[in-house]
A and B are shown apart, each in its own frame.
Chain A
Amino acid sequence: GAVVSQHPSWVICKSGTSVKIECRSLDFQATTMFWYRQFPKQSLMLMATSNEGSKATYEQGVEKDKFLINHASLTLSTLTVTSAHPEDSSFYICSARFEGRPETQYFGPGTRLLVL
């Protein structure tokens, strides 16, 4: 149990286009979902926290107008990278938590984004 999926697993897009990444909790309802970004040979950096039905809370330095997060249901959150540029190329990882405790947080497999 406690499986989190992401779609797509990888995506290549042209500069200036928008890309949507989906994060789904497959066998539980996630009250909170998190989005992380990871550049090569670096750690995971938290981008934002989203609660179902409310606006996401963004970490300092993350542009909310560029990284649109929607958490419309208890099993789905989406991250849209708007007007993507090559510097947005990264590994995006989501996680989902079904209770308030971090012990109930599970990570997705990640989405590799390459912007040409």
Chain B
Amino acid sequence: GESVGLHLPTLSVQEGDNSIINCAYSNSASDYFIWYKQESGKGPQFIIDIRSNMDKRQGQRVTVLLNKTVKHLSLQIAATQPGDSAVYFCAENIRDDKIIFGKGTRLHILP
């Protein structure tokens, strides 16, 4: 079965607020994690990644946090905008092999 899962299938956030999407993974051998954004009818779009030797990485308006102790990954989106509406997937990679996707969270932006 899937080794990567998400706590919340749907997240509604007020426009302008920060969004936090969580992910739990079960394979302790995973050494690379990625967050993807997928809009309806499109392929996944890379957002940000992090290696297991890091616990935080920041991009433009996005931050990924990795807690290896509890096998938890989160994506923080600052000042959420309508264009952020999409499904977000965390994914993991073990030893530079294949990328396995988690279940996904739909982010809904409230006006």
Given A102-B32, A103-B49: A110 in contact with B41 (beta carbons within 8 A): yes
Interface membership of B89, Cβ < 8 A: yes
Q: Report Cα–Cα, A4/B43, bound state, in Å.
A: 10
CB within 8 Å of B: which A27-67 residues: 34, 36, 42-46, 49
Given A103-B49, A112-B41: A43 in contact with B2 (beta carbons within 8 A): yes
Are the CB atoms of B96 and A34 closer together than 8 Å?
no
Using an 8 Å CB-CB cutoff, how does the interface string of A4-36 with B read, 1 for contact, 0 for none?
A: 101000000000000000000000000000101
CB within 8 Å of B: which A53-89 residues: none
The 8 Å CB contact of B98, one of A4, A42, A43, A49, is A49
Interface membership of A1, Cβ < 8 A: no
- Residue among A91, A95, A102, A110 with the highest chain B CB neighbour number at 10 A: A102
Are the CB atoms of A93 and B32 closer together than 8 Å?
no
Are the CB atoms of B101 and A43 closer together than 8 Å?
yes
Contacts of A46 in B (CB 8 A): 98-101
Given A107-B43, A109-B42: A102 in contact with B89 (beta carbons within 8 A): no
Are the CB atoms of B41 and A101 closer together than 8 Å?
no
Q: Can you name 19 extra interface pairs (CB under 8 A) apart from A43-B102, A44-B101, A108-B43? A: A6-B43, A34-B98, A34-B99, A42-B103, A43-B89, A43-B101, A43-B103, A46-B100, A100-B96, A102-B32, A102-B93, A102-B99, A103-B49, A107-B36, A107-B45, A107-B46, A109-B42, A109-B43, A110-B43
